[in-house]
Amino acid sequence: MPTFAGATSSAHPAPTVHADELEVRIEETLAMLSHVEHAYAQRRMTIDKWTGSERQKERLHAELEKLHQRDRQPLILRLADLHYRLRTVH
């Protein structure tokens, strides 16, 4: 499983950080998530405008949704982790 900056592992506890640093990390992660959402919205529109058959479009939409979830999942997990850590700092 790929790791990303800010990910924590049970083998390596997260270093202590201040609440303001966690808030910055949350904002950065939200910006990344927004970028992913926008990119996939653009791809959906491209498929919708394509002249292929409805069956082909449905197949492409299904494939795109799998990729969307794959790209989105680590960011959602990171947000959950950061939110939990922020709550325990206060």
Asked whether the predicted pLDDT for residue 50 surpasses 80, the reply is yes
- Which amino acid is residue 74, in one-letter code? P
Average pLDDT on 26-35 reads 98
- The answer to whether position 11 is within a domain reads no
- The answer to whether position 79 is within a domain reads yes
Tell me the residue range of the domain where 65 lies: 19-89
Average pLDDT of the residues of the chain: 87
Q: Which pLDDT band holds residue 14 (cuts at 50, 70, 90)?
A: low
Average pLDDT on 17-46 reads 96
d(CA 2, CA 83): 21
Considering its fold, how many domains does the chain have in total?
1
When comparing pLDDT for 42 and 12, which is higher? Answer: 42
Q: Please give the pLDDT value at position 3.
A: 39
- The answer to whether position 3 is within a domain reads no
- The answer to whether position 78 is within a domain reads yes
- The answer to whether position 62 is within a domain reads yes
Q: Please give the pLDDT value at position 17.
A: 72
**Sign of the dihedral defined by the CA atoms of residues 77, 83, 84, 86, in that order:** positive
When comparing pLDDT for 11 and 80, which is higher? Answer: 80
